[in-house]
Amino acid sequence: MYIIIVGCGRVGANLVSKLSEEGHNVVVIDRDKDSFSQLGSGSNCMTITGMPMDEDVLKEAGIEEADALAAVTTDDNMNIMVSQIARQLYHVPMVITQTTDPEKQRVFTSMGLKTICPTTLTVDAFFCALKEGETEK
């Protein structure tokens, strides 16, 4: 698959690494060129420094040929804008958006976007662990 990752923080860099190991063609976009230092030496990907919602940057990344895009910056608003552009203007078949705010996750989901919310996942994991501990007494 040809996959664009928007954001090269901890999540983006680790995702690039896993996808590269699987043999996918990956392009990663980040506003800060220093973010690419987080990529491991085994990451075989193209890097682009620029504003992710800029159409010229997205075209340079090959959005017109992309099979998937994952927006994983720490900025929920950036993620939603890039995801909407990818989905509505370029018809990228698979678009996944990260949001840290559970309320925004509900809004994004209602807009038809596939979202992953680390906050919700963490709360659910802690809740389950606490419930398990409760029954072990």
pLDDT at residue number 61: 97
Report pLDDT for 58: 97
Q: Where are the domains of the chain?
A: 2-135
Mean pLDDT for the stretch of residues 68-86: 95
In the chain, what is the straight-line distance between the N-terminal and C-terminal CA atoms, in Å?
48
Per residue, the 3-state secondary structure of 10-36, as one string, reads HHHHHHHHHHHHCCCEEEEEECCHHHH
Q: pLDDT (tens digit, 9 = 90+) per residue, 97-119?
A: 999 998 888 888 888 889 999 99
The residue ranking higher by pLDDT, 110 or 130, is: 130
Distance separating alpha carbons of residues 40 and 21, to the nearest angstrom: 11
Distances (CA, A) of 6 to 80, 124, 137: 11, 26, 45
Lowest mean pLDDT among 33-42, 70-79, 81-90, 116-125: 33-42
Name the nearest CA neighbour of 71 among 52, 43, 91, 51.
52
Q: Name the residue type at position 76.
A: D
The widest CA-to-CA distance across the chain, in whole angstroms, is 59
Q: What pLDDT is recorded for position 137?
A: 59
pLDDT for res 112: 84
Which tens digits make up the pLDDT trace of 18-70? 999 898 999 999 999 999 988 877 677 899 999 999 999 999 999 999 999 99
Amino acid at 81: M
CATH architecture, domain 2-135: 3-Layer(aba) Sandwich (3.40)
pLDDT band at 136 (very low <50, low <70, confident <90, very high): low
Residue listed under structure tokens 């193209």: 46
* pTM confidence score: 0.89
